[in-house]
Amino acid sequence: MNSLSFTLFIFAVITFLQCSSSTGAATCHPDDEAGLLAFKSGITQDPSGMLSSWKKGTSCCSWKGIICFNSDRVTMLELVGFPKKPERSLSGTLSPSLAKLQHLSVISLGGHVNITGSFPKFLLQLPKLRYVDIQNNRLSGPLPANIGVLSLLEEIFLQGNKLTGPIPNSISNLTRLSYLIFGGNLLTGTIPLGIANLKLMQNLQLGDNRLSGTIPDIFESMKLLKFLDLSSNEFYGKLPLSIATLAPTLLALQVSQNNLSGAIPNYISRFNKLEKLDLSKNRFSGVVPQGFVNLTNINNLDLSHNLLTGQFPDLTVNTIEYLDLSYNQFQLETIPQWVTLLPSVFLLKLAKCGIKMSLDDWKPAEPLYYHYIDLSKNEISGSLERFLNETRYLLEFRAAENKLRFDMGNLTFPRTLKTLDLSRNLVFGKVPVTVAGLQRLNLSQNHLCGELPTTKFPASAFAGNDCLCGSPLSPCKA
């Protein structure tokens, strides 16, 4: 379950408590009232009126986003923002006076985008804190070295800020943690070895930072881990052996955009619950283990931009939403039969995979549901006409640098198509007027001829053809 799901879960709990704890709304502890009003004073903009009910002299337990559970003390503060609509969210800073809320167990202030300042150190003074969500704001600076004092903490969401510096070693003291979501910051240094102490961990997300070094051998104790994201960092070396112990539970493994190397470990073949595997943009080499046939639940597989060779195992899956094997050293010869027979494929990318077939021979079982296709830099011949006529939801088709040969004037597009790249092929004929409805187009380096229809595309989209004329190219001769 992702962080959004858990935010929704907390929201559901709060809704339930609001309905079930009416006695708690009768009063309000003065310390809590003072702390909350100080927080309100630090908010400079509240365009959605989230804090409109926060008025001195009224019971703070009845204010929006506040729960007092079976007492006059505030136990939950939940004001989730609108990360995709920052104009509706709160702006300002987080007042240290929230430290007065000594019974607070849940604080959820994520998604406001325009909340600034350093990591709120007042959190370290809240001894009952179990859940912290301050993700997707603009917090900056280092994490406190003594973050480990939050001994009851079970879930912490800090992703999408601008936090810097190392992950403190004291994180090892948070032995009740099940969710540690630090992705999308500017954290540096190595992964602390003490994270091995977090035996209840279910979701560990450190992706999209500036962490470095090798990935430490710390996973053997994490018997419950379901999601591991270390992508977009500066890790190097091989995947550690202890990741193998995660086979019974792991649902998603993401280590893309690092400098990892070596062969893909054979132990990956034992991850029969795995749904998402992303090893892209590393330096993995050698052949893909034949044991990948055991990944029967995989629906998102990205091995692109590595140094992988040979053939690819014939997977046995009911469907796959996302498959990207592009830019390796594969010699697939054809689009794999197991892919062709799938009842549903959302995204298929097989660029530079050594495919040497005619597109006329490719007859996918359900072409209707393809949304994104990239077959660039292969030796694919034939015509695109039949396939495009069979699609209904296709958004993007790329097949640059192939040997496609057909009459462009006979091509019809699905109404959904936004991107078409057929550059560096053998396409001939006239450019149809329907290309004007596309958002991106590249037909350069073909054998097209005739007057161009009126479009918004630059000359580079049509350059290098036999005899095209008209804007944005040279005028046609009378």
Chain segment 206-233, per-residue pLDDT in tens? 999 999 999 999 999 999 999 999 999 9
The conformation of residue 289, written as its DSSP 8-state character, comes to P
Task: Provide the token pair at 137.
Answer: 């704001």
For residue 364, cis peptide bond before it (omega within 30 degrees of 0):
no
β-strand partners of 285: 263, 307
| pLDDT the model gives residue 1 | 42
Six-digit token string for 249: 């539970």
C-beta of residue 235 within 8 angstroms of C-beta of residue 214: yes
pLDDT in tens, 317-350: 988 999 999 999 999 999 999 999 998 899 999 9
Q: Is the pLDDT of residue 430 over 80?
A: yes
Confidence at 12, pLDDT banded by 50, 70, 90: low
Going from the C-alpha of 27 to that of each of 107, 198, 275, the distances in angstroms are 20, 39, 49
Q: Which helix (H) or strand (E) holds 441?
A: strand 440-442
Cα Rg of the chain, angstroms: 28
Q: Is 287 helix (H, G, I), strand (E, B) or coil?
A: strand
Beta 447-451 vs 467-469: how paired, if at all? parallel
pLDDT of residue 343: 87
pLDDT digits (tens, 9 = 90+) for 20-31: 443 334 478 999
What's the pLDDT tens digit per position in 100-152? 999 999 999 999 999 999 999 999 999 999 999 999 999 999 999 999 999 99
- Edge to edge, the sheet with strand 428-429 lists 428-429, 447-451, 467-469
DSSP letter at 402 equals: S
Handedness of CA 211, 212, 218, 219 (dihedral sign): positive
Cα–Cα distance, 349 to 421 (Å, whole number):
14
Residue 86 — pLDDT band, cuts 50, 70, 90? Answer: confident
The pTM for the full model equals 0.92
Say which DSSP state 168 is in. P
